Amino acid sequence: MLGRIPVRSRIRILLIVLMPAVVSCAYAQAVPCMPVAVPRATQYRTTIEVSGQIAAMKSATLAAQRAGVVRAVLFHSGEHVVKDAVLLRMDDAVEQAQVALDRAKRDEAGRTLARDRKLRAIAGVSEAQLETDRAALAEARAQLALDTARADRRTIRAPFAGVLGIRRVSSGDYVALGATITTITQIRPLRVLFAVPETELDGIAPGDGFRFAMPVGGGLDHDGRITALSPALNGKTRARMVEGRIANTSDALLPGAFGVVSIATGTPVAALRLPATSIDYGPLGSFVYAVDRKGKASVVHAVYVHVLSTQGAVATVAAKGLPALGAVVAIGGFKLHDGETITPIGPAAPVQASRAAKPGRAAEPGGQS
């Protein structure tokens, strides 16, 4: 609905909706209104970045199995094909004629065997003749299978589902034995190959997740899973090769591309996730303002934290040694001092009705002078 309203009108509407809350908090309260957030417990592992290369799950070069003339090309360069799709037919008139001859010989051998069986029932032929008939039928069937297989080699089919490469032949071309027709590559899913240094191998196992990012092309991250680890270290680099798999449902990645693999290592440790804007910095290190209730008032005090990582708008801090944090000031902590009374707003606590007087400001967070 707002998309159809002019910009100026939308601004007026937002001001009308938000102004009562702003006025109520800013003017009706004698203490500053601060947004708060509740830290969430999580597990944290150190993340390392290594170089990785994309490789196809399957890749093959399709070549002529017999020399001859191309009768029909049934594919286009870059086409997606399914398994066993017919891609090219060569002139197989001679082979098909041989197959027809073999089929006729097989049928004749079958009729001869059936006739002699009837004669054998009345002692018209010997048992040895029946054995000769059976051998002749088996030989005819084998010859038919052999020549049918030779005829089938005149047809090129897709060995698996994938994307075709550049077409190398045209109808009417004479191709020699082993001449390249095209290539086929399976790009869903893809393999990711990377090496992890010996010192960073702790905790890495098949099934662990990782992220792969291209240095160019939008910088999108692709989630993957480790499928296998090499059973030995590289003697020169002292690293262990790791193989992973990426779904590549968007076809954004291509075999042969290089990128950066981000993977978690080490033992998981207890941690807390909170807004990155809640982290403040002082002479003694990083800290957050925890919100405590004293009667009807909400008082903040500085709690020093060890920041493990910051990703976008979320920061992760070590939980070890921290007191229980019910809520922290989400943004604007640089305006506060230890022991100051605030009015919390946000999902962690409703707007307080307290009108306590604003206390004196401390020189340093944590009550230090």
Sequence-distant (≥ 6) Cβ neighbours of residue 193 within 8 angstroms: 52, 53, 55, 241, 242, 243, 244
C-alpha 192/C-alpha 103 separation (Å) is 50
| Tens digit of each residue's pLDDT (9 = 90 or more) over 5-27 | 444 454 354 344 434 444 456 54
Most confident residue range from 30-34, 41-45, 344-348: 41-45
Q: What is the pLDDT of residue 25?
A: 61
User: Could you give the percent of the chain with pLDDT greater than 70?
Assistant: 85
The pair of three-digit structure tokens given for residue 277, joined into one six-digit string: 């804007």
Q: Hey, which of 157-171, 203-217, 352-366 has the most confident mean pLDDT? A: 157-171
Per-residue model confidence (pLDDT) at position 219: 60
Phi, psi of 271 (to 5 degrees): -150, 170
Q: Is 27 helix (H, G, I), strand (E, B) or coil?
A: coil
Lowest mean pLDDT: which of 49-58, 88-97, 251-260? 251-260
Per-residue pLDDT at 14: 38
Residue 81 has pLDDT above 60, yes or no: yes
What φ, ψ does residue 220 adopt, rounded to 5°?
-75, 140
Domains of the chain by range and CATH?
Answer: 27-44+271-367 (2.40.420.20), 92-153 (1.10.287.470)
Distance CA 305, CA 204 (A): 27
Q: CA-CA distance, 310 to 295, in Å (whole number)?
A: 35
CA 94 to chain centre: 50
Q: How confident is the model over 259-311, as pLDDT tens digits?
A: 999 999 988 899 999 999 999 998 889 999 999 888 788 899 999 999 998 88
Percentage of the residues of the chain whose pLDDT score is greater than 90: 63
pLDDT (average), residues 93-118: 94
Average pLDDT over residues 216-222: 72
59-68, 95-104, 123-132, 189-198: which has the minimum mean pLDDT?
123-132
Over range 141-170, report the average pLDDT. Answer: 95
The tokens describing 163, both together, are: 């994307």
What average pLDDT does range 192-207 have in this prediction? 93
In the numeric block, which tokens belong to residue 73?
């090309």
Report cis status (omega within 30 of 0) of the bond before 189.
Answer: yes
pLDDT at 345: 85
Query: From CA 313, how far away is CA 26, in angstroms rounded?
Result: 26
Q: What is the pLDDT of residue 218?
A: 56
Q: How far is CA 302 from CA 13, 26, 143, in A?
A: 38, 23, 90
pLDDT exceeds 60 at position 67: yes
Kindly tell me if the per-residue pLDDT of 357 is higher than 50.
no
pLDDT of residue 359: 33
Q: What is the pLDDT of residue 348?
A: 44
Going by pLDDT thresholds of 50, 70 and 90, the confidence category of residue 193 is very high
164 three-state secondary structure: strand
Q: What is the mean pLDDT of the chain?
A: 85
- Measured between alpha carbons, how far is 351 from 27 in angstroms, rounded to an integer? 13
Helical (H) or strand (E) element with 208? none
